[in-house]
Structure 1
């Protein structure tokens, strides 16, 4: 229990630093957008490459990958159906679907997995699926929403290669599968850059909270409620049932899969929203609300599943 509180507490402190930087105008206007782009294009790709390249292949390509794929589909499709009924735009629908299914595997999942299980490998399948499957699909849809044009088949096929997050994740998996390693002179600068990813995303998120209205006051209360129910209730239940009864995973793996599904919406969704200039308020509020709800939920999951 203390490890969960410790992990969430660390995140809260760094977010508060970002909020204070914006509150006292320590940095010039536009810093939040610049920081978010730095995290998106440089730091997060480095972090994903290092994490996935060092993950055990058996853990990455395990039943947890199937659990992640199914639970992600439940969250994303569940939101898209409602968004379709409410006639939301494509961009807003994609951001909402990501907020309902894209978990904070990097910023919170890695430290929690390390604290609880002694390794970050349990979140590797989640990160791999999100970055190699979910993100490319979302980016294609967001590109369409941004340009208003249907991309060619070639453009869609090349989309994963054009995105630094997807490319870095794919390279990391290839390195893990081949059992290859890079020389220290190459690894050290990558590690230094990767170290910016988590605090950078959290500080940018904290800066966005200054002056922002309370959750639900931007006209997205219905969408926010739907995201909270899908992300924090439906997905953990689905993950537990799949792990326990369908894939018949061992108890530790079931607990890890359920905890992964119960993680809050990733700050990456907010970074993507800024990048494509759509759904920024919804993404920000979804991250905030699900992070708050995750505190009692993660504790409850450990208490209920790990008996």
Structure 2
């Protein structure tokens, strides 16, 4: 199966770079702050440059493909399912339940999504609509809900300006604007300006993966036993239920076939985004729950994506 072989080769590339980061952490190369430096530099500099470089050369109608409908509704349905299960079985507080819903629906479109889209699906731009959807829609909604449940009030200014503090979203929107200009006028920025941005962007994926490998060193998940059922539920919802919903929506509702169907389901199987832990830390709720949900879904995601590749590629 060429698709499965391609997926395995992609995971091999990704795995080797992650393992390099893990070994570097064990050998204390770069010191105790190496992971933080790589994460921050890739987040604030390289990844925005990469998204700008990719999207600026993508036709605008390819960027906002109708597959975004699948990503939106599959995420919302999975989040709703977790809230229902929490009401029936877990009985978490409102703030922790919101973290659980975000754990279930929020895709790691950057740290894992970009490498998978690049090396397995062959097009890094495929994560752009998901990234824009999450940063411009899901993040403000999630932060509003956390504001209400933890503080009893909403800071409208903080919620409305939240997208302006997201470098990936800013880089993506700048690339989209240039794509629109290029499509309508034929003008594009000179190569001496585009090439350095693209060169910096090319460093994003290896830096992201090595930083993730460093984060695995010394990690001890599932220490809080009371959270284990909810954490496992999050992993199942994220890595199994969400791809199934995405397949049903893409195949039967949207009528997608071939590469588009494959991409919809693979991207739905991405693990939970690390942003969820940042939100939990900001409000000091569900910290271990958020961390364990992200870690378990990240470790199990390759298995499900390999199965998807075997079935659909």
How far is 1:243 from its partner? 0.9
Taking structure 1 as reference, are residues 115 and 44 closer, same or farther at Cα in structure 2, changes over 3 Å only? closer
Is 1:130 paired with 2:137? no
The alignment covers a number of residue pairs equal to 303
Contact 2:71-2:130 at 8 Å conserved across structures: yes
Partner of 1:169: 172
Tell me, in whole angstroms, the C-alpha distance in 1 between the residues paired with 2:271 and 2:299: 8
Work out whether residues 59 and 124 of structure 1, in 8 Å CA contact, stay in contact via their aligned partners in 2.
Answer: no
User: Which residue is equivalent to 1:75?
Assistant: 78
Q: 1:52 to 1:80 in 2, by over 3 A?
A: farther
92, 106, 129: which one aligns with 1:87: 92
Q: Would you say 1:222 and 2:229 are equivalent positions?
A: yes
Cα shift readout 1:87-129 (whole Å, capped 9, x = no counterpart): 3463x55554333223344454445445566544444333332
Mapped partners of 2:16, 2:284: distance in 1? 27
Note the C-alpha offset of 1:62: 2.3
* Unmatched runs of 5 consecutive residues or more in structure 2: none
> Does structure 2 retain, via aligned residues, the 8 Å contact 1:104–1:266?
yes
Change (3 A) 1:184 1:77: farther
TM-score, normalised to structure 1's length? Answer: 0.82
Alignment pair present for 1:101 and 2:105: yes
Question: What is the distance in 2 between the residues matched to 1:107 and 1:259?
Answer: 15
1:17 Cα deviation from its structure 2 partner: 2.2
Determine the structure 1 residue equivalent to 2:209. 202
In the alignment, does 2:22 pair up with 1:19?
yes
The CA RMSD over aligned residues, in Å, is 3.2
- 1:40-93 deviations in whole A, cap 9, x for unaligned? 322222222223333332222222010011011123333345557633463x55
TM-score normalized with structure 2 length: 0.80
Q: CA deviation at 1:266?
A: 3.9
Alpha-carbon offset, residue 236 of structure 1: 0.8
